[in-house]
């Protein structure tokens, strides 16, 4: 994957927040946080360089790029975090003002014809059949009209985290689905299984807020 483009833009947007949360969540002082961030940038560029490019119609490139970023920071920390603290760190680092704005804008189009057509197109693409770092999903609309579910049978984050030998920390990344749904303001996120926790699939259910 080429660094200049989305990976470069996401680093510029999010790295200051990831650095700030090293102090807020893990207690590193300012100089140590800066040193970790410098090392993380090198790790991030290395990880990105080892990834394939995504197909034009694949909507999940950003998901993988953000996962590469948190993986790079974890690999650069003096001590490996546990899942609970990493869950807090990742959510707090990711939810910058621009990301919250993006979630609100996405929420405004949730359940529209365009949104549902996009979900169906993503399901039909089955990008992970050609790119192991992407996702395969099936799309289900709830029969009562309350929303829909994307049911994922292949997950690029799981593949990447295994590559980085961080697979046990993957549930910390999964939890961000709830945070982003809440930030969107129009859906209640529901889930029963995740692949990272040994489930048969990852179910991402979005129900209209009453």
Once rounded to an integer, what is the mean pLDDT over residues 2-14? Answer: 97
Give per-residue pLDDT as tens, 23-61: 999 999 999 999 999 999 999 999 999 999 999 999 999
Would you say 110 and 118 are in contact if contact means Cβ atoms under 8 Å apart? no
Average pLDDT (152-164) is 98
Identify any residues that bridge with 208 across adjacent strands, giving them in sequence order. Answer: 187
Using the structure block, give the residue that is written with the tokens 């209640």. 188
Summarised one tens digit per residue, pLDDT across range 191-201 is 999 999 999 99
Mean residue pLDDT across the chain:
98
27 bridge partner residues: none
Query: Is residue 110 classed exposed, middle or buried when 0-12, 13-18 and 19+ CB atoms within 10 A define those classes?
Result: middle
Identify the band that residue 111 occupies on the pLDDT scale cut at 50, 70 and 90. Answer: very high
The pair phi, psi for residue 207, each rounded to 5°, is: -110, 140
pLDDT score at 140: 98
Q: How confident is the model at residue 163 (pLDDT cuts 50, 70, 90)?
A: very high
pLDDT tens digits for range 66-104: 999 999 999 999 999 999 999 999 999 999 999 999 999
Distance of CA 130 to CAs 53, 133, 134, 154, 194, Å? 11, 9, 8, 12, 22
Q: Which residues contact 60 (CB under 8 A, 6 or more apart)?
A: 54, 127, 134, 135, 156
The first and second tokens of residue 85, run together, are 């603290």
pLDDT tens, residue by residue, 146-157: 999 999 999 999
> Does 210 have pLDDT greater than 90?
no
């Amino acid at each position: 994957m080429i660094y200049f483009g989305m990976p470069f833009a996401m680093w510029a947007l999010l790295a200051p927040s990831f650095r700030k949360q090293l102090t807020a969540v893990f207690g590193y002082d300012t100089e140590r946080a800066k040193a970790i961030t410098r090392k993380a940038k090198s790790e991030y560029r290395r990880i990105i360089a080892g990834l394939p490019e995504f197909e034009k119609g694949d909507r999940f490139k950003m998901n993988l790029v953000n996962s590469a970023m948190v993986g790079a920071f974890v690999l650069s920390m003096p001590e490996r975090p546990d899942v609970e603290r990493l869950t807090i760190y990742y959510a707090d680092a990711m939810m910058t003002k621009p990301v919250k704005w993006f979630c609100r804008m996405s929420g405004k189009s949730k359940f529209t014809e365009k949104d549902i057509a996009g979900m169906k197109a993503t399901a039909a693409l089955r990008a992970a059949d050609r790119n192991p770092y992407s996702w395969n999903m099936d799309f289900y609309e709830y029969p009562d009209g309350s929303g829909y579910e994307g049911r994922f049978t292949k997950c690029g984050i799981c593949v990447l985290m295994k590559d980085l030998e961080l697979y046990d920390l993957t549930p910390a990344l999964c939890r961000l689905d709830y945070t982003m749904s809440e930030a969107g303001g129009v859906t209640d996120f529901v889930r029963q299984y995740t692949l990272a926790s040994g489930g048969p699939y990852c179910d991402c259910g979005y129900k209209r807020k009453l």
